[in-house]
Amino acid sequence: MLHSTAPAPDTEFASHPPNFTAPNPTRETLLRAYRLMRTADEMARLYEENKAVTAKYVHATARGHEAIQLAAAFHLLPTDYAAPYYRDDAMLLGIGITPYELMLQLMAKRDDPFSGGRTYYCHPSLSRAGFPTIPHQSSATGMQAIPATGMAHGIKYLEGQRVQGSAADYSSSTTDAAPVVLCSIGDGAMTEGEVSEALQMAVLHQLPIIYLVQDNDWGISATGREMRAMDAYEFASGFKGLHRLRVDGADFSASYSVMSEAFAYVRRTRGPVLVHAKCPLLGHHTSGVRREWYRGDNLAQHTPQDPLPRLHQQLLLRSFTKRELEQAATEAAALVRADYERALLAPSPDPATFADHEFAPQAVTEEAGERTPAGADKVLMVDAALHAVDDILREFPEALFYGQDVGGELGGVFREAALLAKKYGDARVFNTPIQEAYIVGSTAGMSAVGAKAIVEIQFADYIWPALNQLVEELSKSCYLSNGQFPVQALIRVPIGAYGGGGPYHSGSIESTLLTIRGIKVVYPSNAADMKGLLRAAFLDPNPVVLLEHKGLYWSKVPGTEDAKTIEPAAGYVLPLGKAAIAQAAAAEQLRRGNTCVVVTYGMGVHWAKTASRQFPGQVEVLDLRTLNPLDFDAVQAAVVRHSKVLVLTEEPLMNSFAESLAGRIQRTCFQQLDAPVFTLGAANLPAIALNVDLERQMLPNPTKVAAALQELLEY
């Protein structure tokens, strides 16, 4: 066993004291490990013997990895958090999950405790008293590292705040129960860029997390030599402040001692550890990629390292009798067989529940608070957002705000977080590295431990590195955990073109976001709505992306004066999913049938209002405000009132949300329409040019909107 410590950023995080001795497993622990190792072996054997049934859905087993997984599991406490990966069924047995429960997931049964039959074997989501908490993680390789690090980040923050009832509010007066996050990962996944982002933040903030790297030299059919220039232990040496340990992951006693050391280090120092465990791969990569297709003689090379016979021999040398071990093996086999027969008979999910848990129930369902308090001044949209965040940070100690350049002196490139860091401290409002994936993905971990993150992507054009996390970890969590782990996250994204921002600071991305199920997308057009919707987005228990048009922030663009409004009082809130009539048509024009409605949002509201001055009283402007959930009832009601519709967007029109909405209106409101549904958007080009004249040519504007309105009204 080799271990060393990388230089730490502070002496407080030095290695364990010289007199530290990692404990050896007790006789009781050894027998428990042997029984569970036998159980895992019997499960793998049974799955192979009955593959016509068990391989209906893809699964992997722990064969070869059982020793290190059980060693890790035996050190997890109910106060801890874990992010296992798909080969960790022995780890789950080690924390007390039964073979029956695992088999319910294997066969996608109704009573699968993790997902209700919605996700793969060994993809746990567990919120159960007396067990470590296991939030949802996806199958995407290496993606669990960021949410797991976000858990540790949230715990560290809450410990500093001592928020009552949070993950960090453990009752022990010592560090014995201080929460630890265990992130289990394969060595091949360590090459993912997002893993590096996680490690960077773990050492930068000295977070209480153990990265357990199980290295079996394979990534499906690719060998370690093909995938990496160094293993995870060597790679981790580049992260200053990351304590590193190596262990023979097929030796239970050695693994137990090293995991004891790792957990003790993190509980005491609150800093990160990486454990590199070498393991044989004795089973298939998964049931769908069988070992005989590609491994050749390699399996014979791995078999002598099988942890089960090694532990068997060690126990005989420790004076365990053959009879004791045979009895443990017999009991394990009987349990596995009995649980399998029970699982076969267990009911399947009710198909009627297929759509349950897309979202957790919405927190805000009615408008509340004062929208136009007496004596209040008008406020710019950017300041309304700033004040809303300020109110939240003052009211909710579990809230924090982070992203690129939002902390420190600057307070955001648009000054949308001005002075918040000075007011609330660097632990609550802080800058991150240029790591969009971490900014977004960490919110899943924050949410799981009780922290409530407001984060910012600096420009919409830079959100793409975060899509892995947004899609795989945030959007699917509530649905695939059967409602156990909705992700509360508010993701602020400045968006839109504004006077020569060029190709990387002007883009509109709402249509891409709206193809992601399980997230909400909000797009205010004025200061009052910004303040009310931002608060509702924060209070919502689901992931919310708040799109904030840069051209509306200061009302400097001609025609956007109405974006500046009377400032609502603190606590004002608007429910998500409710459209508003930003401008009504005149009753007389409506009676004569001379009207139309513009369905739009964001900058489109102001283009439409400006253009409508050429058609007094003839144009209603419906501001959607929230794009998902969409207030289609309000859209239908507007269509019935006017029978002529223009859907207006700033995005390139082809294959956009606007075209989709127009198609839906055409389909559902066909009999009420007196004209085809008109659409107007930006030119179908890959980027917005830097030159302002080229930008103007590409985008909609009031003149273009007026031309469309005239054609529509005259149709």
Q: Which one of the listed residues 243, 284, 505, 549 is annotated catalytic?
A: 505
> Quick one: tokens of 455?
């984060």
* Per-residue CA distances from 482 to 107, 472, 586, 629 (Å): 16, 15, 49, 20
Whole-number Å distance between alpha carbons of 91 and 71: 8
Residue 245: name the closest of 546, 5, 485 by CA.
5
Tell the residue number behind the tokens 């509360």, with chain if given. 488
**Whether 209 contacts 217, CB under 8 Å:** no
The three-class DSSP label of residue 5 is: strand
Whole-number Å distance between alpha carbons of 81 and 266: 13
The three-class DSSP label of residue 533 is: helix
606 is catalytic: no
Query: How buried is residue 574: exposed, middle or buried, by Cβ count under 10 Å (0-12/13-18/19+)?
Result: buried
Query: Which neighbouring-strand residues pair with 491?
Result: 455, 545
User: Taking the CA of residue 101 as centre, how many other CA atoms within 13 Å lie in the half-sphere pointing to its CB?
Assistant: 16
Tell the residue number behind the tokens 């491994």, with chain if given. 295
Residue 210 is given by DSSP the state E
The three-class DSSP label of residue 277 is: strand
Tell the residue number behind the tokens 């971490």, with chain if given. 438
**Cβ neighbours of residue 326 under 8 Å, at least 6 residues apart?**
none
Whole-number Å distance between alpha carbons of 415 and 336: 61
Residue 368 is given by DSSP the state B
Amino acid letter for position 275: V
* Per-residue CA distances from 101 to 107, 114, 346, 358, 653 (Å): 10, 9, 11, 24, 49
The three-class DSSP label of residue 109 is: coil
Residue 155: name the closest of 325, 398, 341, 360 by CA.
398
Query: Which neighbouring-strand residues pair with 185?
Result: 213
Q: Which residues are tagged catalytic?
A: 505
